[in-house]
């Protein structure tokens, strides 16, 4: 739990209302939730289960317990992420918005100057351009064809090196000569990592090479939409320091520091959309015309 | 013979039935349209069993000519649309087509195999050559399979081809048309009266489509995305039943004309243009509708201008094709997209192609760049031809694109 004032860009604080709202970001690997109430921001995280609704309910329960807010006091919920379509919250007003819009809005509220976002999740990676006056998406590009440039790829490599995902990122920071990794395909990467290991290349150098190879894919996405500062790195992989370093190196640009773990950026954006929606009646709600998709 | 359907294909048909019975429950015209869609291939098979001449045909310009000979064309695209994963697997395993081959070609070739095994009445295929390598491969495979395959050259009008060079192209094309007629009927002599009637019919139908597209500007959500896709696909082949397709268009014009203008819908709609092939994963169309997008421009079947009814009909056929947006170079289609952007006030373009089509991907890139520079955003979608729900990522991209435009 934190005060809004400590987290949200001061320029945008005044746009918050007194409504209690929730944003739930159901990613392919983890579910994240943000609740906004009484000048405070609460977060919750849990691995995504088989049933998205259960994951969403679990997040909501945790947020309610933490904040001591009653369920009936929730003015609005916005669901986002891979599992958003299945959501239902009975009597509570709710709608869905894509994670692309939510990451943009969340990042905007963390840093009102942000113009570019790199979002690397479990299943896909995205480069997004944001309008700094509204937080809306101007352009985006998404790599969704294969594991290249995604958390899934890093996870696979971590496994091959007998490391956890967290260890993989930390390990990469101590590399002295990052290995040259050409393959981005999980299938080929396996044999490439094995042959690097056989050649005696250290785990740190392999890990760094893998991060650089992943960052190269992401750089291609970013180049496509054009990098304009400030740049925010969001999504599940943003916690990986090896990836942050590789991206900064390859993009030639620092990643802005914000005051919330950006794994929550999508959920925060969803909670902000919920704030905007709560103050209007459903009949006015045509901003995304995404009401009631059930 | 009844259609061979895998469970996924059944799902695809269920999607169409749902659109007919639930989504468009208020529109008798669209219900009639979907009946034509659902029965197209089956009824053509039955007509073949009853002694009618029926051919698989994938060459849009030839449709009026085929009808003029009394034959029924079955567009391969419609066959692919009701094929399932099994057809794809047959192409990859039995015919050893590489996995990255265009999914439309794999779906169609696999379906042909399955149908042949089941004793299909349709054994002749008319395709075009030189344009598409994957189809060239399919023709060879189908010949070996015992089909009577005939291919005609694609006549490509490059930008700047005018004057004498253009006239030569027309003559070359007229010859191609005669040769095709010979394969189809045994003679190069074309029944000009009959062809003239077909051209007149086509002009009538294109005018009707123009009226519908204009009327839709006031009622952007009356015909949903899947409906408009099929309406325009039908303009090429009439689903094997020209009179019934004509009735669909006539009654839809009537339905739309009787509606009161809907200001709220007009303001709510996000006008979009769809270019490229028509999507197979029908969920894409739902995603557009649910997000408030309205496909008010559709650049596939040409309908903007008429065939010339005052000249020799064979020549008219050739000239229409060479002067239409499908003449070859993508610049012709680009002009049509530009006109439509102005006409409907489009806010975005959906550039759709099939996975594995190298032509399509180059064209989409060119359009993206060109329209981006003019301030019109686009989304580039690559779909598969096999049935089944679209991936979550594709749906996310569509929704995010429309959110971005709203
Ligand atoms: S989509 Fe492309 S590759 Fe596939 S059949 Fe058409 S032209 Fe050929």
Backbone angles phi, psi at A162, to 5 degrees: 55, 40
Quote the tokens at residue B34.
């979907």
pLDDT of residue A168: 87
Shortest Cα–Cα distance, B406 to chain A (Å)? 6
Shortest Cα–Cα distance, B405 to chain A (Å)? 8
Decide if A288 and B291 are in contact by the 8 Å CB cutoff: yes
pLDDT of residue A286: 43
The answer to whether the CB of A106 falls within 8 A of the CB of A266 is: yes
Decide if A98 and B403 are in contact by the 8 Å CB cutoff: yes
CA B78 to chain centre: 8
Q: Whole-angstrom Cα distance, residue B75 to residue B36?
A: 13
Q: Whole-angstrom Cα distance, residue B21 to residue B18?
A: 5
Q: What percent of chain B has pLDDT over 70?
A: 96
Q: What's the mean per-residue pLDDT of chain B?
A: 90
Q: Residue B346: which residues within 8 A CB-CB, separation 6 or more?
A: B271, B272, B273, B296, B297, B340, B376
Q: Whole-angstrom Cα distance, residue A179 to residue A193?
A: 10
Q: What is the pLDDT of residues A271-282, one digit of tens each?
A: 999 999 998 754
pLDDT of residue B1: 42
Backbone angles phi, psi at B180, to 5 degrees: -65, -40
User: Is the model more confident about A194 or about B349?
Assistant: B349
ipTM of the complex: 0.70
In this prediction, residue A187 has a pLDDT band, given cuts at 50, 70 and 90, of: low
pTM (2 d.p.): 0.82
Q: Point out the residues of chain B with pLDDT beneath 50.
A: 1-3
Decide if A82 and B292 are in contact by the 8 Å CB cutoff: no
Q: What is the pLDDT of residues A32-69, one digit of tens each?
A: 999 999 899 999 999 987 788 889 999 999 999 999 99
- In 3D space, the residue among A176, A179, A146 whose CA is nearest the CA of residue A160 turns out to be A179
The answer to whether the CB of B329 falls within 8 A of the CB of B159 is: yes
The answer to whether the CB of B83 falls within 8 A of the CB of B110 is: yes
- Chain B positions in Cβ-Cβ contact with residue A139 (cut-off 8 Å): 377, 404
- Residue A6 DSSP label: H
Q: Residue A62: which residues within 8 A CB-CB, separation 6 or more?
A: A33, A44, A46
Strand partners, B125: B56, B149
Q: What is the pLDDT of residues A7-17, one digit of tens each?
A: 999 999 999 88
A225/B contact by beta carbon, under 8 A: no
Which range among A157-161, A225-229, B290-294, B302-306 shows the weakest confidence by mean pLDDT? A157-161
Q: What is the pLDDT of residues B150-172, one digit of tens each?
A: 999 878 888 888 999 999 999 99
For the segment A244-260, the average pLDDT, to the nearest whole number, is: 92
Residue of A48, A139, A144 to mutate for B, most B C-beta atoms under 10 A: A144
Give the Å distance between the CA of A192 and the centre of ligand 1: 35
Cα–Cα distance list, B197 to A168, B57, B58, B233 (Å):
72, 20, 22, 21
Say yes or no to pLDDT of A160 above 60: yes
Asked whether B279 lines ligand 1 (CB < 6 A), one says: no
Closest CB to A144 among B393, B403, B404? B393
- In 3D space, the residue among A128, A108, A109, A125 whose CA is nearest the CA of residue A117 turns out to be A128
A57/B contact by beta carbon, under 8 A: no
Alpha-carbon dihedral A181, A185, A187, A188, rounded to 10 degrees = -30
Backbone angles phi, psi at A127, to 5 degrees: -120, 130
- Chain B positions in Cβ-Cβ contact with residue A100 (cut-off 8 Å): 396-397, 400, 403-404
Fold of B7-261+268-405: Rossmann fold (3.40.50)
Q: What is the pLDDT of residues B19-78, one digit of tens each?
A: 999 999 999 999 999 999 999 999 999 999 999 999 999 889 999 999 999 999 999 888
Hey, whose CA ends up nearest to atom 2 of ligand 1?
A: B357
Handedness of CA A185, A186, A190, A193 (dihedral sign): positive
B356 CA: nearest ligand 1 atom = 3
In this prediction, residue A184 has a pLDDT band, given cuts at 50, 70 and 90, of: low
Residue of B266, B381, B399, B406 to mutate for A, most A C-beta atoms under 10 A: B399
């Amino acid at each position: 739990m934190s005060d809004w004032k400590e987290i949200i860009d001061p320029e945008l604080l005044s746009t918050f209302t007194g409504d209690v709202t929730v944003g739930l970001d159901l990613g392919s690997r983890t579910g994240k939730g943000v609740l906004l109430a009484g000048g405070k921001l609460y977060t919750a995280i849990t691995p995504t289960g088989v049933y998205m609704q259960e994951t969403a309910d679990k997040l909501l329960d945790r947020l309610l317990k933490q904040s001591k807010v009653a369920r009936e006091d929730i003015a609005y919920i916005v669901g986002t992420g891979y599992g958003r379509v299945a959501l239902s919250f009975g009597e509570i007003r709710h709608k869905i918005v894509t994670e692309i819009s939510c990451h943009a809005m969340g990042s905007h509220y963390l840093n009102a100057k942000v113009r570019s976002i790199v979002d690397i999740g479990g299943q896909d990676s995205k480069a997004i351009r944001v309008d700094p006056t509204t937080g809306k998406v101007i352009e985006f590009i998404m790599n969704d064809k294969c594991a290249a440039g995604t958390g899934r790829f890093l996870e696979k490599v971590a496994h091959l090196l007998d490391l956890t995902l967290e260890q993989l990122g930390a390990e990469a920071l101590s590399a002295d000569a990052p290995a040259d990794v050409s393959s981005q395909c999980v299938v080929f990467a396996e044999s490439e990592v094995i042959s690097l290991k056989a050649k005696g290349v250290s785990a740190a150098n392999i890990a760094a090479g893998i991060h650089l190879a992943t960052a190269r894919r992401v750089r291609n996405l970013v180049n496509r939409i054009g990098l304009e500062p400030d740049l925010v790195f969001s999504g599940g992989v943003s916690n990986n320091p090896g990836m942050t370093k590789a991206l900064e190196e390859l993009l030639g640009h620092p990643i802005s520091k914000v005051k919330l773990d950006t794994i929550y950026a999508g959920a925060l954006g969803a909670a902000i959309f919920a704030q905007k929606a709560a103050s209007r009646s459903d009949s006015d709600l045509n901003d995304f015309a995404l009401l009631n998709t059930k | 013979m009844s259609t061979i359907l895998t469970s996924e294909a059944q799902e695809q048909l269920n999607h169409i039935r749902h659109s007919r019975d639930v989504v468009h429950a208020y529109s008798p015209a669209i219900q009639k349209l979907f009946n034509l869609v659902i029965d197209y291939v089956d009824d053509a098979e039955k007509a073949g069993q009853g002694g009618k001449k029926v051919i698989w045909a994938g060459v849009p310009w030839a449709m009026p000519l085929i009808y003029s000979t009394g034959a029924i064309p079955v567009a391969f695209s419609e066959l692919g649309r009701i094929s399932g994963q099994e057809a794809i697997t047959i192409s990859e395993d039995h015919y050893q087509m590489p996995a990255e081959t265009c999914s439309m070609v794999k779906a169609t070739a696999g379906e042909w195999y399955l149908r042949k095994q089941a004793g299909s009445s349709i054994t002749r295929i008319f395709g075009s050559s030189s344009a598409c390598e994957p189809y060239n491969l399919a023709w060879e495979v189908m010949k070996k399979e015992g089909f009577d395959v005939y291919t005609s050259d694609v006549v490509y009008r490059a930008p700047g081809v005018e004057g004498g060079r253009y006239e030569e192209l027309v003559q070359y094309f007229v010859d191609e048309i005669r040769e095709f007629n010979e394969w189809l009927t045994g003679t190069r002599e074309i029944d000009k009266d009959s062809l003239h009637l077909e051209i007149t019919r086509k002009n009538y139908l294109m005018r009707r489509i123009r009226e519908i597209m204009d009327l839709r500007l006031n009622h952007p959500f009356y015909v949903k995305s899947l409906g408009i896709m099929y309406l325009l696909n039908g303009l090429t082949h009439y689903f094997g039943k020209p009179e019934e397709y004509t009735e669909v268009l006539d009654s839809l014009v009537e339905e739309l004309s009787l509606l009161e203008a809907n200001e709220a819908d007009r303001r709510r709609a996000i006008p979009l243009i769809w270019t490229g092939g028509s999507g197979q994963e029908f969920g894409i169309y739902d995603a557009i509708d649910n997000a408030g997008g309205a496909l008010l421009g559709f650049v596939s079947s040409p309908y903007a201008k008429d065939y010339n009814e005052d000249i020799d009909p064979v020549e008219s056929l050739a000239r229409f094709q060479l002067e239409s947006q499908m003449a070859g170079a993508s610049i012709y289609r680009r002009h049509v997209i530009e006109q439509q952007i102005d006409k409907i006030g489009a806010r975005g373009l959906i550039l759709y192609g099939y996975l594995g089509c190298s032509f399509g991907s180059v064209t989409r890139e060119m359009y993206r760049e060109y329209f981006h520079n003019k301030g019109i955003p686009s989304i580039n979608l690559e779909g598969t031809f096999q049935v089944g729900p679209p991936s979550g990522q594709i749906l996310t991209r569509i929704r995010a694109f429309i959110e971005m435009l709203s």
